[in-house]
Structure 1
Amino acid sequence: MTATPQTTGRLLKRAQYRNHRAADRALAAIGTTLVQWDALRAIDEFPSASAHALAVTTFQSDQSFGALAGRLIAQGLVERSPGHGRRVEHRLTDAGKKMLAEGQAVTAEVTARSFHALSQAELETLHALLDRVGEAPD
């Protein structure tokens, strides 16, 4: 296969799809999904962020993130409280922190398997290249 932006984009999408499917399967064993775990990760990383900022961070629409947050609240993993101004803040419950930690171990293992064929130098090169993808030309 000749390397073109299109074929490279498809390979990137395929790698992401495979990694996400493997993570979803592994996370199901602990009672969550990749989307739910990623929301827990974002809420933990940005505790005072607005729902909109959390939606952007997790690659979701505001409406989708709102529905997801509602499900996480119903599961006892997240709590909402009034924030500054009209902002509603999200924070993890103890159960949410436990699920996040378990999910971090699971996703770390899955990701390590996904990239096992790359040497450290290759991984660093890939990281640097992907960091440049999508940058606007000067």
Structure 2
Amino acid sequence: MPHQPAEVALAVKRLQHRHHRALSKALAPLGLSLVQWDVLRHLNRNPDASLHDLAVLTFQTDQSFGTLATRMADRGLVERLPGPGRPVRHRLTDEGERLRAAGQELVDGVVQASFQHLSATQIEQLGALLDVVLATDPTA
């Protein structure tokens, strides 16, 4: 029986939900939520990113991200620095980088376990298919 697009979309959502649960559990001993680790990951990839850019990358509103960034700065995980003009820029602290790296190892383990029944070729095919689907929406 061929897969219907709605069923495939639901399967993607179920996999995402499974990953969220497993990643939240794996990151908890580090004192990080998945959302906090995601911020650290994006800051590692985008040093000096603005509040708005980080909000977009982490699927949050500017207001909710501002609250999260303030809490993370209070914990010593990120620095909030004035940028040129109005934007506030963000950077990882040494502690934020340490937790990001530790979290990355945990995340890699969860994701590898999730895809362990796929061959390298199948993972590449899945990634390529998702690239095609996501390319049709420039905001994705």
- TM-score in terms of structure 2 length: 0.92
Q: Deviation of residue 67 (structure 1)?
A: 1.2
- TM-score in terms of structure 1 length: 0.93
SS state at 1:76 partner:
coil
In structure 2, the partner of 1:11 is 11
Q: Deviation of residue 54 (structure 1)?
A: 0.8
Q: Deviation of residue 105 (structure 1)?
A: 0.7
Code of the aligned partner of 2:31: G
Deviations 1:29-65 (A, max 9, x none): 1111110000011112111221111111111111121
Deviations 1:57-76 (A, max 9, x none): 11111112111111111111
Deviations 1:60-101 (A, max 9, x none): 111121111111111111111111211111111111111111
RMSD, matched Cα: 1.5
In 2, the alpha carbon distance for the partners of 1:83 and 1:129 equals: 39
In structure 1, the partner of 2:65 is 65
SS state at 2:48 partner:
coil
In 2, the alpha carbon distance for the partners of 1:115 and 1:134 equals: 20
Q: Deviation of residue 128 (structure 1)?
A: 0.3
Q: Number of aligned pairs?
A: 137
In structure 1, the partner of 2:85 is 85
In 1, the alpha carbon distance for the partners of 2:40 and 2:136 equals: 31
Q: Does 1:116 align with 2:93?
A: no
SS state at 2:73 partner:
helix
SS state at 2:30 partner:
coil
In 2, the alpha carbon distance for the partners of 1:129 and 1:136 equals: 12
In structure 2, the partner of 1:94 is 94
Code of the aligned partner of 1:136: T
In 1, the alpha carbon distance for the partners of 2:65 and 2:78 equals: 13
In 2, the alpha carbon distance for the partners of 1:113 and 1:75 equals: 31
- Gaps spanning 5+ residues in structure 2: where? none
Query: Identity over the aligned pairs, expressed in percent?
Result: 50
Code of the aligned partner of 2:8: T
In 2, the alpha carbon distance for the partners of 1:135 and 1:75 equals: 37
- Gaps spanning 5+ residues in structure 1: where? none
